[in-house]
Structure formats: C-alpha cells, structure tokens
C-alpha cells in the first residue's frame, strides 16, 4: 500500500543519511551548493563564512542529499 511504501522510503532515507554522514561525501566541495541552498538566499549571502563553519554542516549536506534522492 502507499502507507507501507512511505514507511519503507522513510527508513531508507534514515539509512542513507547515516551512510552519507559516515562517509567523506559531505566534505566534497561539490555539495557546497546544497549546503548554501538549504538556507534562505539573503542569509546564505550575508553569513556564507559562518555557514561553511557551521557545526552541523555535514549533517545538513547529508540530509539535503538524502532527501533529493
């Protein structure tokens, strides 16, 4: 059913998120655009340096990438 597929997709995203965080994928500069796209444009422009140093940077990138798949 659709509900069961939704649950399976949710679990798959959780596993994918964990795997991405554990890898070196979030450190790849290719995903910088995903990190900056997570924040509103004005905030991303004004606080770019702070965003790049954000302590949850890896998790934000992993979440965006996992949700895009």
User: What is the pLDDT at residue 69?
Assistant: 81
Q: Quick check: helix, strand or coil at residue 57?
A: helix
Joined together, the tokens standing for residue 26 give 């979030």
Taking only the tens of pLDDT, the chain with its 69 residues reads 899 999 999 999 999 999 999 999 999 999 999 999 999 999 999 999 999 999 999 999 999 999 998
What is the CB neighbour count within 10 angstroms for residue 17? 17
User: What is the pLDDT at residue 51?
Assistant: 96
The 8-class DSSP code of residue 29 comes to G
Identify the H or E element spanning 63.
Answer: helix 57-68
């Amino acid at each position: 059913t659709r509900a069961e597929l939704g649950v399976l997709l949710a679990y798959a995203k959780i596993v994918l998120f964990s795997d991405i965080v554990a890898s070196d994928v979030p450190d790849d500069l290719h995903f910088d655009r995903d990190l900056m796209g997570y924040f509103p444009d004005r905030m991303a422009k004004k606080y770019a340096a702070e965003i790049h140093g954000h302590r949850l940077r890896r998790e934000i990138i992993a979440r965006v990438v996992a949700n895009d798949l």
